Every structure is written in structure tokens, then in C-alpha cells.
Amino acid sequence: MSNKIKTTVGSHRIELTNLEKALFPGISKGELIRYYLKIAPVMLPHIKDRPLSFQRFPDGINAEGFYQKQAPSAYPEWIKRIPLGVKDIVDYASADSAADLVYFAQQAVIVIHTSLARADKPHNPDLLVFDLDPPADDFGMVKKTALQMRALLEGLDLKCYVKLTGSRGVHLAVPLDRSWDFGLVNSFADRVAGLYQRKHPDETTVEISKAKRGNRIFIDTNRNHFAQTAVAPYSVRAREGAPVAAPITWGELSNADIKPAQFNIENIFDLLANRADPWADIYRHGLPLKRAEGLLQSLENSEKS
DNA sequence: GTGTGCC
DNA sequence: GGCACACAACGCTGG
DNA sequence: CCAGCG
Ligand SMILES: [Mn+2]
Ligand SMILES: [Mn+2]
């Protein structure tokens, strides 16, 4: 009656239950599991070797969900754990095969978050992320800010990649060589965001307090810390229609019709059929921030005149 | 969603 | 077997 | 310390 089946993914047997249960209006748990199985080859390079955190919704996105950081003791031994923590040690789950993703989806994991650092050097991020959050559903303002932030970052001789978050905004990602720790990377990010914000005070803010943001884009640099996380590329979001966080090209962002929740567990495969993952090479382009910091200093100095 | 303790 | 129940986050920021 | 935030 409870609709159990066993399946094999790679070398692992996994029991799947309640495949017909709706986790989103009109979208079943079976469809979620199928998505993670199918996206695995493209997604795994982005989450491999990173501590993962999850948002789980066993009774669907319109019921109560919860966050999970500590990997449950009941996980099979083939799911690797990454022990990390600021105060107490948490054994984070990790994923290096499609079987891991299928197992997580069976547990009603809908959203996957990752650290911006890999497990072998957990205090030194290989990505710097600027999270651009619009006050309402004004994506036009987000696009403009993203393009100008990219120009600023490229002016500092850095690379900048973009993904739609699948909810309301975008993430800009700057690949790093891991020579700086989170403390240094975060203060660099704060200075870049601050410089941009002072140039565009009516369109953007760096205020955490929602009350102080007004009708402006929040440039959020607070993901760039040890044990903080950002939604993973190709993660599903817990929203109607099962949208996904989608890496896109800068050309695609400029498209007049683009929307932040444009891609979902079905149509993301049409996009990937027509072109490769735009982030496929991101980790080959990690750069140091040392020289960028010098260039940033010059820009800050020339503000004063 | 899953492991446990208990009738 | 089947039911009730517990349990599944945390670190940073500004005031 | 606490409330707010993601
Ligand atoms: Mn955001
Ligand atoms: Mn900071």
C-alpha cells in the first residue's frame, strides 16, 4: 500500500517510497527523484567535496519543512560525511555520485545548499558570491545591477559568473584560488559591494535590515563565511513549479524575457541540450584577490576626489 | 522520512 | 505488525 | 545580550 520499490543507482540499492505523493502542486516525489538522477552529471562537479545542507519537505512545499545540517546516523556508509564546525562539530553530508542525490531526494530533500569552500581547505573559499535580492519582483533592476557589478569585477581583473537562483534574484560568483580565507574574502566582498552601492545609492543597498532596504536591490555578501552556505547550482527550489537554480550565460541574462525562476526540473534539460553548463569551467579559473585588492584600493581612493 | 520502543 | 513519538540549523550582524 | 536575517 505504501508504494515501495527498490532500484539500483550505480552500485547501490536504494528503496524508494511514495513516488506518487505530490511534493509540489502537480509534481510528484518520483519526478523530483528523477530530476536529481538526471541532473547528477552536470550538478555533481559543483557540489562534490563540499559540505551540504538541506531543506526537506516530507509533506510537500506547502506543509512545514525543516533544515538539515547534521547527517543522520541512519545514512548508509557509502554516503560520505564531512565533519566541520565553528563551535560544535557537525557531520555534513556530501555527494559524489548520482546515488547520493537519489538517496537524498527519497528523504524529501528539495533544496541543496553548499559551502563556498571545499572540504580539504574549508576556511579558504574557491568562490566569492554576491547575492542580489530585489525588494519585490523587479528583475529588470537585478539584471542591470548584475551587468554593472560584472563590469566592476572584470575591471579588477576578476572573472564573474551568474546564476538565476530560481526564486527572485541572481548570484554572481567569482572563482578564487583559495589563497585567502573567509575573513579576508568577506572583507574584500564588503568593500566591492560598498563601492558599488555608493555609486548607485538609489538602486542598491547593503543593509541587512529589511526595514532599511527600501525599494532597492540588496547586495548580500554574507554568504562568504565559514559554515555559511549558498544554494547549489541546479538545486531545486521549494516553490510552485519546481524551479531550479540555473547557471546561465551573460548573453542569456540580457535576454528581454529572462526571469529568475525561468528554469525548472523539466525545461532545464532543453537549455542543457542546446549548450553546455556555463559554469563547467569555473573552478579552472580561480584567481587570487591580492592584485584585485590593490586595484580596488585605487578606485576607493579616487572616490574621495 | 525514518528509527525506536512498546503493546 | 502497527502505532506514537522524537527528531531532522546555525552563524553572522547591528543595535 | 537579543532580534533579525538568510
Ligand atoms: Mn538571494
Ligand atoms: Mn561581512
- CATH number, domain containing residue A285: 3.90.920.10
Task: Say which amino acid occupies A297.
Answer: Q
A101 CA to centre of ligand 1 in angstroms: 23
Last residue of a domain, one of A92, A115, A138: A115
- What domain count does chain A have? 2
**pLDDT reported for residue A2:** 55
Last residue of a domain, one of A73, A95, A115: A115
A39 and A96 housed in the same domain: yes
A7 and A150 housed in the same domain: no
A17 CA to centre of ligand 1 in angstroms: 32
A293 and A168 housed in the same domain: yes
**pLDDT reported for residue A3:** 84
Task: Say which amino acid occupies A166.
Answer: G
A179 and A299 housed in the same domain: yes
Which residues pair with residue A27 across a beta bridge? A24
Nearest protein residue, CA measured to C1' of C7: A72
A125 and A70 housed in the same domain: no
A125 and A110 housed in the same domain: no
Last residue of a domain, one of A95, A115, A135: A115
Residue reference for cell 547501490 = A12
Give the nucleotide at minimum CA-to-C1' distance from A71.
Answer: C8
A253 and A188 housed in the same domain: yes
pLDDT digits (tens, 9 = 90+) for A16-40: 999 999 999 999 999 999 999 999 9
Burial class (CB in 10 A: 0-12, 13-18, 19+), A283: middle
- The range of the structural domain enclosing residue A237 comes to 121-304
Give the nucleotide at minimum CA-to-C1' distance from A206.
Answer: C13
A196 and A50 housed in the same domain: no
A168 and A96 housed in the same domain: no
The residues of chain A scoring below 70 in pLDDT are 1-2
Ligand at shortest distance from the CA of A226:
2
pLDDT digits (tens, 9 = 90+) for A134-165: 998 899 999 999 999 999 999 999 999 999 99
A302 CA to centre of ligand 1 in angstroms: 31
pTM recorded for the entire structure:
0.98
What's the CA dihedral at A206, A212, A215, A219 to 10 degrees? 10
A103 and A134 housed in the same domain: no
**pLDDT reported for residue A133:** 97
CB contact at 8 A, A65 and A55: yes
A170 and A86 housed in the same domain: no
Ligand at shortest distance from the CA of A171:
1
A98 and A151 housed in the same domain: no
Which residues pair with residue A212 across a beta bridge? none
Ligand at shortest distance from the CA of A221:
2
Residue A112 CA distance to nucleotide C14 C1' (Å): 29
